[in-house]
């Protein structure tokens, strides 16, 4: 920009150092989408050295980048000299990188925001663009937790859901703005119902677990089994669509009946999980459709959305798996409720 004239040739080496070490991804491309610059961040996360990347077509090097979509975002930058942005809500990532925190992080991949900026040549035309990639995994995960919590607030009466007192401190002023598309919780009602009605306990057989620790154990054991034996396994996550309905005895009993002996279920707040042993995505989809239709027959006010996460090697913990199922559930909800959705990494 305007201060570029101030940079002296001798300074370039430390500018290059900064470029290599800065913790955001920088990719410069020409109008044919050939990579011209590939900084240290991109090299580290992709495993491709700048020597390999340089001159390569972006879409050939990364066939999983949706070409039409990305070109649409880049065209205005070339043609109108404007900056464009993509946010993780549109697509979780542009480049499929692993989570920066592989041990303590909860996501399997890195959520990314990108900014695409025009680079002016000496002739003032735009021959190159720069894509800047930001890691926003923490923001995305926090938001998703938050959305799930909000979805859990049911303004109905005998609401078996999280208490508002748990949720309230987690809402900073700014993000409270961002989730206003969710129904307003009727706060006074909910604080009065912090604990699930005990009555439902009697109807549940031993299959539905309520204890978080034993559920985590089961999930991790199943994960290890899948990893070892290459046997398929699926985690299904179910949520009632209508906020004023709740999991009454007939629904839980129905859910329970549809499970096999070898399956395990877990009921936590407003989510119902089922761990399907030796089942692939097709089996799970069949199971989910059956449950969804059966629940619909219970009454007009009942419809559920279901997320399905088949086991994949990328899951490093039970938590990963559960997040994937919850992600699929959110997608199903976004897709217009009353449907099921299989997680696609």
Query: Taking CB under 8 A as the criterion, which residues in 185-224 touch another protein?
Result: none
**x/- contact string, 281-320, with another protein (CB under 8 A)?**
----------------------------------------
If binding is defined by CB under 8 A, does position 7 make contact with another protein? Answer: no
Residue 226 token pair:
């899948």
If binding is defined by CB under 8 A, does position 125 make contact with another protein? Answer: no
Q: Residue 265 in contact with residue 259, Cβ under 8 Å?
A: yes
Cα 306 to Cα 217: distance, rounded to the nearest angstrom: 23
If binding is defined by CB under 8 A, does position 239 make contact with another protein? Answer: no
Q: Which of 28, 61, 65, 115 binds another protein (CB under 8 A)?
A: 115
Q: Report the residue number, 104 or 181, with the smaller CB distance to another protein.
A: 181
Q: Which of 50, 76, 155, 232 binds another protein (CB under 8 A)?
A: 76
Return all residues near 203 (Cβ < 8 A) that are at least 6 apart. Answer: 249, 252, 253
If binding is defined by CB under 8 A, does position 155 make contact with another protein? Answer: no
Q: Report the residue number, 178 or 314, with the smaller CB distance to another protein.
A: 178
Q: Which of 54, 83, 98, 106 binds another protein (CB under 8 A)?
A: 83
Q: Which stretch binds another protein (CB under 8 A): 32-40, 94-102, 173-181, 294-302?
A: 173-181
If binding is defined by CB under 8 A, does position 260 make contact with another protein? Answer: no
Cα 315 to Cα 173: distance, rounded to the nearest angstrom: 33
| Cα-Cα-Cα-Cα dihedral sign, residues 225, 230, 232, 237 | positive
Give the CA dihedral 71, 77, 78, 80, nearest 10 degrees: 130
Phi-psi region of 337 (alpha: psi -120 to 50; beta: other; left: phi over 0): left
Q: Report the residue number, 72 or 217, with the smaller CB distance to another protein.
A: 72
Give the CA dihedral 107, 112, 113, 119, nearest 10 degrees: 170
Cα 112 to Cα 120: distance, rounded to the nearest angstrom: 25
Please report, as ranges, the residues that interact with another protein according to CB under 8 A.
1-2, 72-73, 76, 80, 82-87, 89-90, 113, 115, 134, 173-174, 176-181, 334-336
């Amino acid at each position: 920009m305007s201060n570029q004239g101030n940079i002296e040739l001798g300074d370039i080496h430390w500018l290059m150092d900064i470029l290599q070490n800065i913790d955001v991804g920088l990719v410069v491309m020409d109008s044919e989408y050939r990579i011209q610059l590939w900084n240290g961040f991109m090299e580290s996360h992709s495993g491709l050295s700048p020597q390999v990347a340089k001159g390569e077509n972006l879409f050939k090097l990364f066939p999983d980048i949706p070409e039409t979509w990305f070109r649409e975002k880049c065209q205005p930058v070339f043609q109108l000299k404007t900056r464009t942005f993509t946010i993780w809500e549109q697509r979780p990532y542009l480049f499929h990188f692993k989570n920066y925190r592989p041990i303590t992080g909860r996501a399997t991949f890195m959520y990314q925001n990108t900014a695409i900026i025009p680079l002016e040549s000496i002739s003032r035309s735009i021959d190159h663009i720069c894509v800047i990639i930001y890691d926003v995994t923490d923001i995305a995960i926090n938001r998703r937790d938050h959305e799930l919590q909000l979805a859990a607030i049911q303004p109905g009466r005998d609401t078996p859901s999280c208490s508002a007192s748990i949720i309230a401190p987690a809402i900073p002023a700014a993000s409270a703005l961002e989730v206003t598309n969710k129904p307003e919780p009727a706060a006074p009602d909910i604080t009065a119902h912090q604990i699930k009605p005990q009555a439902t306990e009697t109807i549940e057989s031993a299959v539905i677990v309520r204890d978080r620790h034993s559920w985590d154990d089961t999930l991790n054991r199943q994960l290890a089994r899948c990893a070892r034996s290459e046997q398929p396994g699926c985690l299904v996550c179910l949520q009632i669509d209508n906020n004023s309905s709740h999991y009454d005895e007939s629904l839980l009993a129905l859910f329970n009946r549809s499970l096999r002996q070898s399956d395990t279920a877990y009921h936590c707040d407003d989510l119902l999980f089922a761990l399907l042993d030796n089942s692939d995505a097709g089996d799970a989809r069949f199971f989910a459709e059956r449950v969804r239709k059966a629940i619909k027959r219970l009454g007009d006010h009942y419809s559920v959305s279901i997320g399905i996460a088949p086991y994949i090697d990328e899951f490093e913990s039970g938590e990963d798996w559960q997040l994937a199922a919850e992600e699929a559930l959110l997608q199903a909800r976004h897709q217009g409720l009353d449907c099921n959705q299989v997680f696609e990494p």
